[in-house]
Amino acid sequence: MSRLQDEVRSQVRRTGVVARRDHPALVGCVDAMVKTGQLVPVLPGVYTATGQAGEFRVKVAALLVWCPDAVLVGTTAARLTFWPTASDILVEAAAPRRGSYAGFRLVARRVPEELVLQRGPLRMTAPALTALDLCESGADVIDLVLRSRAATLAGLWRAFELTRGRRGNQQRLVHLLDSKGEPWSAAERRCHRLLREAGIGGWRPNLPVRAGGRTFYLDVAFPEVGLVVEVDGRLHEDDEDVFENDRWRQNALVLDGWVVLRFTWTMLTEHPDFVVETIRAALAASSDGGRPTGFRHSMLGRR
């Protein structure tokens, strides 16, 4: 029995779990180890070592063994692709095998094959569809997936077209329409909306430029007049690294010939007229004074 127990322990160390149906020669040993508390069930017929049944990696491994056709969705797919800090309390999946199990949320759902991402043995919704699944209560996750570059706005629209008719799509459509400027944060989204409502054109979001030997993505750029609008959300105030990087970034841009305006979340939400009029004044001044000399050489292509 000791030899068989060592085999079981070795299997659990390698993969996180052991399944009765995959190891018929070990079934008796597995049952004995369950009775003595050395193994605990994760899903029916799938076991792991005591104390690790709640671990995210173990639950994912158990689902893969229990239902190889399952497609990971929601926060689980997000965690494995573009959002590593997404909740790992539940493993969410579209699975043909149904049931209610602690630590899992299994749903009956058909995911278009084009929107299934295969990573090794794991199948999960592609980042574009994952973001749409999670954006019903807010657009932050769309900003996050765009910022991570795991999906594009065109990819989000394609995912929406392939999953028409779903409950919640009306709100998803609202968020998509509001994302046409490809914002990377709620503050940028707010700034883009102000510019559109004010009828201000000629701007491009997240324009990549080289300045000071580094590549920066400008929040909102007016390349024809060399004007940059930088949007400072909460992260810029609370994160020391972001705050520090902003100063290096601004100095490099100014030295390269760009005119830089900065607006905070409070300015955007509580003083929108001031924001708009400041941008209008800067555009007028930049146009009157001609284009700066340095910036025209720094843009990296997104034309």
Q: Specify burial of residue 273 (Cβ count, 10 A radius: 0-12, 13-18, 19+).
A: exposed
Give the pLDDT confidence score for residue 302 in this predicted structure.
46
CA distance from start to end of the chain: 69
Give the pLDDT confidence score for residue 45 in this predicted structure.
94
Residue 52: what residue type?
Answer: Q
Dihedral of the alpha carbons of 142, 144, 150, 151, in degrees to the nearest 10: 20
Give the pLDDT confidence score for residue 178 in this predicted structure.
80
Give, in order, the Cα–Cα distances in Å from 133 to each of 75, 76, 97, 129, 240.
9, 12, 21, 6, 32
Q: Strand pairing of 204-211 and 214-222?
A: antiparallel
Give the pLDDT confidence score for residue 289 in this predicted structure.
59
Give the pLDDT confidence score for residue 66 in this predicted structure.
95
Give the pLDDT confidence score for residue 300 in this predicted structure.
57
pTM (global) more than 0.75: no
CATH of 186-297, one of 3.30.300.130, 3.40.605.10, 3.40.50.300, 3.40.960.10: 3.40.960.10
Give the pLDDT confidence score for residue 132 in this predicted structure.
96
- Rounded CA separation 136/125 (Å): 16
What token pair was written down for 190? 């707010």
- Map out the domains of the chain as residue ranges: 1-50, 132-177, 186-297
| Segment-wise mean pLDDT, segments of 10 residues, the chain, 303 residues | 85 93 90 94 95 94 95 97 94 89 94 96 97 87 90 94 93 85 81 92 90 88 93 60 80 92 92 95 79 50 46
